[in-house]
Amino acid sequence: MTQAIRRRSASPIADDGDQLSFCSTCAFSDACLSQGYDKSALSELHVLVEHVGPFSEGEHVFREGDEFTAIAAVRAGTVKTYVLDAAGNEQVLGFFLPGEVIGLNAIHQARYPCNAVALDTVMLCRFSFPKMALLATRMPGLQAQLFRLLSQDIGKAALLAGDYSADERMAAFLVSLSRRYAQRGFSPSRFHLTMARTDMANYLRLAPETVSRVLRRLQDEGLVQVERRELEIRNAAKLETLARPVLRD
Amino acid sequence: MTQAIRRRSASPIADDGDQLSFCSTCAFSDACLSQGYDKSALSELHVLVEHVGPFSEGEHVFREGDEFTAIAAVRAGTVKTYVLDAAGNEQVLGFFLPGEVIGLNAIHQARYPCNAVALDTVMLCRFSFPKMALLATRMPGLQAQLFRLLSQDIGKAALLAGDYSADERMAAFLVSLSRRYAQRGFSPSRFHLTMARTDMANYLRLAPETVSRVLRRLQDEGLVQVERRELEIRNAAKLETLARPVLRD
DNA sequence: CGGTCCCTTGAAAACGTTCAAATATAGTGG
DNA sequence: CCACTATATTTGAACGTTTTCAAGGGACCG
C-alpha cells in the first residue's frame, strides 16, 4: 500500500535556513540543545530530518502493518492513532499534538501496529529510525532522550486503563489537553477540540452519547463552556480535582 | 527507604561459571547472542549484571518514588507492579514472569513510578541502567534490543485499555499467561496462578466477586478447570476465541 | 434549499458493582 | 494433632452507571 509517512516537499524545507527554528518543536532538538552539543552534532541530527506534509484532514500518515522506517514528531495539527477491532469498531489509542512523537510503538515489530490519521492540517518532522539509532550511538544525549521518550509512553495508557467514572475520564482528558497545549505555548484555558465527539468517546472507552451527556453536565456545573468544538475551561481547579484520580499528580 | 532492587548474594553468583546459563533467561543475553557478539562483548554485558534475590512473598523489589538506577529481568517467580490511588485502592499494572523485564517505565523520570512486589519466591538479574546505556553505545545490538523492549511495553496496556466484557478480559489474561509460560518452557495448559483473585481483579479492573463469577462460568462451560490457584485450560481454542478481541491476533 | 453528518436528548436495558453473608483455607499456638 | 483465628474466596440479591435503542435538532456543504 502507500509508503509509510509519505514524503512531501521534503527537500526544500530541509535545506532551509529556518530549519532549526522549525525543528525547535521537536523533542529531539530540545534534548540535544540542552545537552550542550555543538553545531556539528546538531547538524548531524538535522541531516536525517525530513519535513513532510501537509496532510489534510482524514489523510493517513501510516496504516497498520506498514513497514516501520521512521518516527515522526508532530509540527502542526493533530494526529489520531487507532486500530479497528474484529467488529470494525475504532479503538482510538491516542491524540498527538504539536511536539509529540508518533511511531514509537512500531519499533519492536518493525511494522506500525496501528493507523495514524490527520484530524486537521498536519505537518510532521520525519526521522529515519535506523539512522537515528546509529547516530545515538555517538550521541549519548540523543540515546538517553530516545530512552526517555519510549519509557514515558509506557505509562501513558494509564488514562484509559483505570476503572474511572465517565466524568473523571473526561476531566482528565481535558486537563491533559490543556497542559499539553500550554507546554507548547497555546492557551491552556481555551482551545479547539480537533477531534469529533465520537473520537473522544472511542478514546475514553465511552459511548458517544455519554460523552455528550458528560460535557453537558460539566458545563451545567460551570467547569467548562463548550460550543461545538470550541472549549473553554472555566474552573480549572475543580476540573483538576475531578481529574486527579486519573492523572495521579 | 530501602535501596531499590536490593543487593543480595550478588558477587558469588556473578562470577560463577554458571552465569551464562543462568542469564539465558534474560532477554538481553538472547539478543546479544543472536547478534553474534563475541565472548568479550558478552562478558562486558555480564560484568554489569547482578544476580539478586531471593525475595520472599510480599517483599518489595522497589517502591514508588525510589530512585531509578537499574532495570531487572525476572529469573524465577512472579513480580506484581501496582500503584495506590487516592482512596488507597491498589491498581495492578502488570505481572512479570520469568524472562520479563521490570523497571522500563522508570527511565524517563529517574524514579520508579510504581511499586513492585514479589508474589512468590523471586530471583532477579539486576542491570545498572546507566552502565547498560553506555555499553549500548558500543553494542548496537544491545541498543536495538533495549529499544525493542521499550517499544513493546508501550502497547502492552491494551489488555486493560479496551472496553471489553469481563469474560473477554479474563480469557485474554489466561491466554496471555499460558503463552508467556509456554515461551519459557512451562506447560501452557496447566499452571499455578501466583496471584490472588483480588490481584487479578485489580489488574483486570473488575471486582473480585466478578472474577470469581467469571472463573466459575468459564469452568461450567468447560473452558478451564480451576482448583484454588491451580489452573488447567481444557479448551484452548474456545478460550482464545473469547480472548481474540482483546489480544488482536 | 435540501441533504448529510454530527451531535444531542430521552427512556429502557444490561453488565458489573456493591453490600451482606456464608464457606473454605492457611497459619498459629496449645 | 487439633482447635482457632485471620484471610481469601464464593455466592446471592439489590443497586447504579453506562450502554443501547430510538428519535430529534442543528450546522455545514453543495
Evaluate if the CB of B132 falls below 7 Å from strand C: no
Write the pLDDT tens digit of every residue in A47-56: 788 999 799 9
Q: Are residues B172 and B236 in the same domain?
A: yes
Task: Identify the weakest region by mean pLDDT among A10-14, B129-133, B205-209.
Answer: A10-14
Q: Are residues B127 and B170 in the same domain?
A: no
CATH number at A198 reads 1.10.10.10
Question: Is the pLDDT at B231 greater than 90, yes or no?
Answer: yes
Q: Cα separation of A28 and A73, whole Å?
A: 9
* Residue A77 confidence (pLDDT): 94
If one counts the domains in chain B, the total is: 2
Q: Cα separation of B174 and B49, whole Å?
A: 32
Instruction: Find where cell 547498560 sits.
Output: B132
Question: What mean pLDDT is reported for chain B?
Answer: 84
| Positive/negative CA dihedral, B130, B132, B138, B143 | negative
Write the pLDDT tens digit of every residue in B34-67: 444 555 566 667 778 899 979 999 999 999 999 9
Q: Which of A112, A128, A158 is the last residue of a domain?
A: A158
CB contact B245 to A (< 8 Å): yes
Query: Predicted confidence band at B249 (pLDDT cuts at 50, 70, 90)?
Result: confident
Write the pLDDT tens digit of every residue in A170-191: 999 999 999 999 999 999 999 9
Give the residue from chain B lying closest to A86, CA to CA: B245
Q: Are residues A47 and A134 in the same domain?
A: yes
| Positive/negative CA dihedral, B162, B166, B167, B172 | positive
DSSP class of residue B195 equals: S
Question: Residue B102 in contact with residue B61, Cβ under 8 Å?
Answer: yes
Q: Are residues A109 and A165 in the same domain?
A: no
What does residue A225 show for φ and ψ, rounded to 5 degrees?
-130, 115
Could you tell me the three cell numbers for A84?
Answer: 479497528
Could you tell me the three cell numbers for B153?
Answer: 511495553
Q: Are residues A41 and A145 in the same domain?
A: yes
Is B18 among the domain residues? no
Question: What mean pLDDT is reported for chain A?
Answer: 84
* Residue A46 confidence (pLDDT): 76
Question: Is the pLDDT at A216 greater than 80, yes or no?
Answer: yes
Other CB atoms within 10 A of residue B12 CB: 8
Pick out the nucleotide with least CA–C1' distance to B169.
Answer: C16
Higher pLDDT, B20 or B90: B90
Strand C bases, protein C-beta under 7 A: 6-11, 15-20, 25-26
Give the residue from chain B lying closest to A135, CA to CA: B137
Q: Cα separation of B90 and B240, whole Å?
A: 28
Write the pLDDT tens digit of every residue in B188-206: 999 999 999 999 999 999 9
* Residue A195 confidence (pLDDT): 96
Query: Predicted confidence band at A33 (pLDDT cuts at 50, 70, 90)?
Result: very low
Alpha carbon A81 to its chain's center = 9
Is B22 among the domain residues? no
Identify the helix (H) or strand (E) that includes residue B142.
helix B140-156
CA distances from B149 to B78, B86, B142 (A): 19, 31, 10
* Residue B86 confidence (pLDDT): 79
Write the pLDDT tens digit of every residue in B146-160: 999 999 998 887 667
Q: Cα separation of A208 and A194, whole Å?
A: 16
* Residue A79 confidence (pLDDT): 96
* Residue B232 confidence (pLDDT): 94
| Positive/negative CA dihedral, A103, A105, A110, A113 | negative
Residues in A 201-230 whose C-beta is less than 7 A from nucleic strand D are 205-207, 209-210, 213, 228
Is A20 among the domain residues? no
DSSP class of residue B75 equals: E
